[in-house]
Amino acid sequence: MSTGAAETDTQAENVATASNITPSSMQNTLKEKLQAEYTAIEDLSGGCGQAFNAIIVSSQFEKKNTLARHRLVNSALKAEIAAIHAWTPKCFTPEEWQKKQSEAGG
């Protein structure tokens, strides 16, 4: 029984290419589904769309632990994640993100 997810790297690459998965398309989905205030998605695969790191800031992460936040993001990007090889999200509330930016800047 197939789950619709790619089972090999070649299948994943074919699905990602056919699905036109880009950092921009994922950002748009996150802004639409999670009302993300800030997203930064980096393609680590050299442009083939197979490995991404992401920073996602959304008030929907309030009062949720890391696992619950990742589940929320993974649910929003279910089709995209099924088509790629590696996905690493870092999820912050607006307050957490502001604090992190203040610490980094000072």
pLDDT tens for the 106 residues of the chain, in order = 444 555 665 655 555 455 578 899 999 999 999 999 999 999 998 877 789 999 999 999 999 999 999 999 999 999 999 988 899 999 999 999 999 999 987 5
Closest CA relative to residue 37, chosen from 90, 103, 84, 93: 93
Closest CA relative to residue 27, chosen from 73, 86, 83: 73
Return contacts of 49-52, CB within 8 angstroms, 24+ apart.
49/13, 49/16, 49/17, 49/21, 49/22, 49/84, 50/9, 50/12, 50/13, 50/16, 50/84, 50/85, 50/86, 51/84, 51/85, 51/86, 51/87, 52/23, 52/26, 52/84, 52/86, 52/87, 52/88
Q: Which amino acid is at 65?
A: N
Neighbours of 18 (CB within 10 A): 9
